[in-house]
Amino acid sequence: MLEKGPARAMQTKTVLVGSLPVGGNSPLSIQSMWKKPLSGLTEELVAEVGGLASLGCDILRFAVPDMGSAEVLGGLARRVAIPLVADIHFDHKLALRCMDFPIAKIRINPGNIGARWKVEEVVRKALDKNIPIRVGVNHGSLPKHLADEADSAAAMVKAAEEEIEVLESLGFGNIVISLKSSDTESTVAANRLFARRFAYPLHIGVTEAGPLIPGVVRSTLAFSSLLAEGIGNTLRVSLSDTSEAEVLTAREILSALGLRKKGIRLVSCPRCGRAGFDVHGFLAKTQRRLMALDKNLTVAVMGCVVNGPGEARHADLGITGAGNKAMIFRRGQMVRSLPEEEAIEFFFAELDGM
């Protein structure tokens, strides 16, 4: 068993998820999970997956509940560059089939696959194809003998340890681990405890974190605690919302913690009774386009003359309302005052040149 000293990200093993390294000194990667059934390999599916990748999704996971889904996922893996992960429960044949395709990782818990020979078949094929396995321990689905343990963090680590022992006994060490609870504190405690004892890379996340607001709050709290201690190698924000929201949240957490340099940093005002410029409307029309830009810039979108010009001046590019005009600031200089309806295109034209 791989043991290590004080928890530091760089002390974990490195696992290759497709061609993407996870763990060791690799950059933190962002992942999400597909929210819909895999009903067919359509151009729309290929385009949507590409769109998520362009927003910053580094790894994308799919539930594979049946053989039809395995076929679609396999076909998709041949079409897209982003590493795809097959998430499988109960049926080892699904895992075997997925590994006939260029799948980057499988997520499977040996404990819910059943008979030892089934696990052995899966592990043998994963070894043969050099495909890593993520063992995903969730507090909501612990094995029966651990489900009622008072110390939920210890119970989760124990569950992971039992799964790891099965894999290691078969000579398999190409492992990523996750320990998730819907409770922030026990998620943090379980990952901390695990990182002290094992050197396998950690996929971190708060599971069933809730709708957008609670989910973002809980994920931010858990990730900021863990990442400050160097724990966590790949991140999944889990929201009862879109995958785009999950990816943007992870990006934002990493940016705010200074762990990600790429991408637009948006500063924008909450709007109040003073606002002349429709900040919410401008953001609704432009936010996705802004977030897909691969530039490292601060952009300010402000509503009025109280804080607007000040914030807009501190940003690389700023827009603020004044009367029925929009003023555009570029690195501290007002470059144009123009009617609101012409502002969006001028704004993006300026960004293009930066």
Site for a second copy in 220-239 (CB under 8 A): 220-221, 224, 238-239
Residue 162 vs 244, nearer CB to a second copy: 244
In eight-state DSSP terms, residue 150 is S
Q: Taking CB under 8 A as the rule, does residue 33 contact a second copy?
A: yes
**Phi, psi torsion values for 287, nearest 5 degrees:** -60, -45
320 in Cβ contact with 307 (< 8 Å): no
| Contact track, a second copy, 122-161, x by CB under 8 A | ----------------xxxxx----x--------------
Work out which of 49, 64, 146, 327 binds a second copy, going by CB under 8 A. 64
Residue 33 vs 53, nearer CB to a second copy: 33
Q: Taking CB under 8 A as the rule, does residue 354 contact a second copy?
A: no
Cα Rg of the chain, angstroms: 23
202 in Cβ contact with 232 (< 8 Å): yes
In angstroms, what is the minimal distance from the CB of 171 to a second copy?
Answer: 28
Nearest-angstrom CA–CA distance, 241 and 246: 8
Q: Taking CB under 8 A as the rule, does residue 190 contact a second copy?
A: no
Q: Taking CB under 8 A as the rule, does residue 338 contact a second copy?
A: no
In angstroms, what is the minimal distance from the CB of 96 to a second copy?
Answer: 19
In angstroms, what is the minimal distance from the CB of 195 to a second copy?
Answer: 21
241 in Cβ contact with 212 (< 8 Å): yes
Q: Taking CB under 8 A as the rule, does residue 31 contact a second copy?
A: no
Residue 199 vs 299, nearer CB to a second copy: 299
90 in Cβ contact with 113 (< 8 Å): yes
In angstroms, what is the minimal distance from the CB of 165 to a second copy?
Answer: 22
Work out which of 287, 293, 340, 350 binds a second copy, going by CB under 8 A. 287
Nearest-angstrom CA–CA distance, 323 and 337: 11
In angstroms, what is the minimal distance from the CB of 263 to a second copy?
Answer: 11
Nearest-angstrom CA–CA distance, 22 and 167: 19
Q: Taking CB under 8 A as the rule, does residue 256 contact a second copy?
A: yes
Work out which of 58, 91, 241, 316 binds a second copy, going by CB under 8 A. 241
Residue 182 vs 234, nearer CB to a second copy: 182
Number of residues that bind a second copy (CB under 8 A): 72
Collapsing DSSP to helix, strand or coil, 140 comes out as helix
Residue owning tokens 């396998």:
200
- At 73, which helix (H) or strand (E)? helix 67-77
Residue 13 vs 61, nearer CB to a second copy: 61
In angstroms, what is the minimal distance from the CB of 261 to a second copy?
Answer: 15
User: Applying CB under 8 A, which part among 16-24, 77-85, 241-249, 342-350 lies near a second copy?
Assistant: 241-249
What do you get for the CA distance between the two ends of the chain, in Å? 50
CA torsion through residues 204, 206, 212, 213, sign: negative
- Count CB-CB contacts under 10 A for residue 40: 11
In angstroms, what is the minimal distance from the CB of 36 to a second copy?
Answer: 6
Q: Taking CB under 8 A as the rule, does residue 87 contact a second copy?
A: yes
Q: Taking CB under 8 A as the rule, does residue 314 contact a second copy?
A: yes
Q: What token pair was written down for 117?
A: 């020979």
188 in Cβ contact with 7 (< 8 Å): no
User: Applying CB under 8 A, which part among 17-25, 217-225, 321-329, 335-343 lies near a second copy?
Assistant: 217-225
Q: Taking CB under 8 A as the rule, does residue 289 contact a second copy?
A: no
Three-state SS annotation for 183-197: CHHHHHHHHHHHHHH
Q: Taking CB under 8 A as the rule, does residue 81 contact a second copy?
A: no
Pairing type for strands 20-23 and 265-268 reads: unpaired
